[in-house]
Amino acid sequence: MALVSCTALPLKLHHFFEFAGQAIGGPFPIKDKAAIARHLNIPRARVTEWTQADDDKNRPVNSVQNAHVEELARLYALLAPGPILAEEAYRYWRYVSAEVFRDGLFPRPDWRNLCPLLKSREPKVKITLNPAQDALGMMDEMVEPVPGTHCLKLGQHFSVYVERIRGKSMYLLVDAPEGLFLHVPGATFDGIFRQNPQRLPPERRWRFTTNGPHRIIVIELSADAPPFVRHLSTRGALSEREIDTMVSALEDPGRVPVWNWGACAIHVGDMSADQE
């Protein structure tokens, strides 16, 4: 079987065991090295190698058989307190930092209340990704992580085009491993539609500065301007209170009589790296 590399594997296993022992509804059945070894049908010494990043053995540090990573991803998806796809959990084991990996195991009330609201209606807003080509006009061949997911290199500039249905304004959110971010309204665009399709950002380009799975979410609003969530100059992930403010506006027909939404899945980083 092919070996693949998992960033910061010892720390990720430490965090996995930490949360498995205090899982909601009782201890998770796969809560230590012995249980992992039995579950994967491998020697316990192999799991010890993973936890110690022992480079004296015959395999590179942080290397795991791909089939085992896939099963670890399934277990992570079961342990996580909120809904997460096994494909996304796989990328957590492979690519993200140990801190982001651990954050995914915390109860996350901050944006979970938005997800059911979006899932309650069919996505209709179309979002088109327009990545900037590199100097030679070529891109490395990448493995498609999930059907329908776009791939961007880390730091690659891009813009998006949003085809509105009948909205006058919008929110644009980025669901990233580090949290949920509000980019529109923001410093680059005030959130009021001026053309169709609307290019975002209107005059510049954006770029992602961290690897891993990202999702652009556009919420089209019938309001003349997007209801206030926070000051346009504020940076960082949305707080629980700010997301509650947004959800309250979407649920108030007096402020937003009609709204539609759409999403675009993006993986940042070369998915072909470490493939054998």
Please list, residue by residue across 55-87, b when 16 or more beta carbons sit within 10 angstroms of its beta carbon and e when fewer do.
eeeeeebbbbbeebbbbbbebbbebbeeebeeb
What was the pLDDT predicted at 23? 59
CA distance 226 to 249: 9
What was the pLDDT predicted at 209? 87
Q: Which residue has the higher pLDDT, 93 or 113?
A: 93
Q: Which residue has the higher pLDDT, 145 or 35?
A: 35
Quick one: which of 61, 84, 59 has its CA closest to 73?
84
What was the pLDDT predicted at 244? 85
Give CA angle at 152 (238, 155), nearest 5°. 70
Task: Sheet with 179-184: list strands edge to edge.
Answer: 150-152, 259-268, 212-221, 169-176, 179-184
- For the segment 247-265, the average pLDDT, to the nearest whole number, is 90
Burial class (CB in 10 A: 0-12, 13-18, 19+), 133: exposed
Quick one: which of 138, 136, 95, 134 has its CA closest to 273?
95
Quick one: which of 65, 112, 72, 111 has its CA closest to 92?
72
Close Cβ partners of 68 (under 8 Å, ≥ 6 residues apart): 40, 42
CA distance 157 to 229: 27
Predicted structure pTM score: 0.58
Helices 66-79 and 86-94 sit at what angle, rounded to 10 degrees?
120
- For the segment 237-241, the average pLDDT, to the nearest whole number, is 86
Six token digits for residue 14: 């430490």
CA distance 271 to 276: 12
pLDDT digits (tens, 9 = 90+) for 159-181: 999 999 999 999 999 998 888 99
3-state secondary structure at position 130: strand
Distances 174 to 7, 155, 183 between C-alpha atoms, Å: 23, 15, 7
pLDDT digits (tens, 9 = 90+) for 103-153: 778 764 445 578 888 888 899 999 999 988 653 333 333 333 344 568 888
Distances 40 to 15, 37, 73 between C-alpha atoms, Å: 19, 5, 12
pLDDT digits (tens, 9 = 90+) for 37-84: 999 999 998 898 898 865 555 667 888 999 999 999 999 988 887 667
CA dihedral in degrees (237, 271, 8, 59; nearest 10)? Answer: 180
- Residues facing 180 on adjacent strands: 175
Q: Which residue has the higher pLDDT, 148 or 88?
A: 88
pLDDT digits (tens, 9 = 90+) for 172-216: 999 988 889 999 999 889 999 999 999 999 988 999 988 888 889
Average pLDDT over the chain, rounded to an integer: 82
Close Cβ partners of 231 (under 8 Å, ≥ 6 residues apart): none
**Does pLDDT of 272 surpass 70?**
no
Helices 86-94 and 9-20 sit at what angle, rounded to 10 degrees?
130
